[in-house]
Structure 1
Amino acid sequence: MTPSGNRLLFDTPPLLHSAKADRLDVLGDLISGLDAVTTRAVVDEVGSKHAEARAAVLNASWISVVNTDSLELLKAFGAWSERLGATHGYNVGETTLCAYAEVNGGTLVLDDLAARRVAERHGLAVRGTVGLIADACRRGRRTVTNASVLVDDLPATGMRLPFPRGGFESWAREKRLLG
């Protein structure tokens, strides 16, 4: 699935791991021309895992932190909280993003497989971080070789990938993500 519309809604992992790899600017460049947003809950999750990454996200000019306290969003949050099991701080970032997407549209950038499945089952557009990088290659924003270097930097930050180091291109071609 390719991004729906021009708005991308970023969850914690792509922001956290890109910032930890000192590649947050590269992530922003990959999506140049698209509207990128996240929520305060996601920023707080990033900060709970890595304070410097939180500061980097807040200072990144390419992404905005959206307001999620309207009545309409709070109602949607309640429904998504049940769907995703957001309890005691768990899944709150994903829940705010799903509520925002339901109300305002856009493509969720989620890597958590369970959350992705729930979001898709309820009609939301979803893309994973590596799929987003493959999309950038297809649009000519990055070469596959350049994207592979970026992707190979991410596991050192703790990010799990669906392929081994050096496997981005073959994985993306197998999934028919490169065109």
Structure 2
Amino acid sequence: MADRRWFVNASPLILLGKVEQIELLRAMAGQIAVPGAVIQEVSAKPDGARTIQILGALEPAIIVDDEVPPANILSWDLGAGETQVISYAVAHAADRVVIDDLAARRCAKAMGLAIIGTLGIIGRAKVAGLIDCAGPVIQRLRETGLYASDEIVQRLLREVGEVGESLEISRDC
């Protein structure tokens, strides 16, 4: 199940840290790479130091130096973290980038990168048996700042078997 190398942006780290699910990254990726710009962004958050500490404890996690972004990525005018994640992933053949920002996801797709976001991690974790239920984790993520439309959440919950076609939530969760 584990892809070899994932390059992770700030929002998934922050959100997964807030809901105490950051270890899912370790369970799914052979190696986690985080650019310095992302570390700076996470560190600036009120609970960022705790997230960085947890990240440091994840054995395959490495902090990588920032890249000089190529013009084709700079032209997307993304944030520093997103720019670095995508630049590093392109330069170092990432198996996947972990990004939530829609514009950054579009850029990553244009660069030919495989993408997963925070919700995708939760969905994969449920399917792999790493968490019992995705719904409660997604609810906590939304309460701590994840924006995801009801439609996207319902689709994911349906895909992992927690919501039927009638949108009734499974009693197992």
> TM-score, normalising length from structure 1?
0.74
Give the C-alpha shift of residue 30 in structure 1.
Answer: 5.6
Larger RCO of the pair (alpha carbons < 8 Å, separation 6+): 1
More helix by share: 1
Query: Does the 8 A contact of 2:33 with 2:61 survive in 1?
Result: yes
The correspondence for 2:140, drawn from 142, 153, 171, is 153
Partner of 2:37: 41
2-structure distance, mates of 1:10, 1:67: 11
Give me the TM-score of the superposition, normalised by structure 2: 0.76
**In structure 2, which of residues 81, 100, 108 is the aligned counterpart of residue 93 of structure 1?**
81
| Distance in 2 between residues matched to 1:83 and 1:65, nearest whole Å | 27
Distance across 1 between alignment mates of 2:126 and 2:28: 15
Distance 1:119 1:33, change over 3 A: closer
What's the C-alpha RMSD, in Å, of the aligned pairs?
Answer: 2.6
The question of whether the paired residues in 2 share the 8 Å contact of 1:36 and 1:64 is answered with: yes
Q: CA deviation at 1:118?
A: 1.2
In 2, Cα distance between the equivalents of 1:108 and 1:177? 22
> Structure 1 residues 81, 48: closer, same or farther in 2, change over 3 A?
farther
Give the number of aligned pairs: 157
Q: 1:58 to 1:140 in 2, by over 3 A?
A: same
Identity across the alignment (%): 25
Unaligned runs of 5+ in 2: 162-173
Aligned residue number for residue 113 of structure 2: 124
The answer (yes or no) to whether the contact 1:30–1:141 under 8 Å persists in 2 is: no
Instruction: Provide the rounded CA distance (Å) in 1 between the counterparts of 2:89 and 2:22.
Output: 21
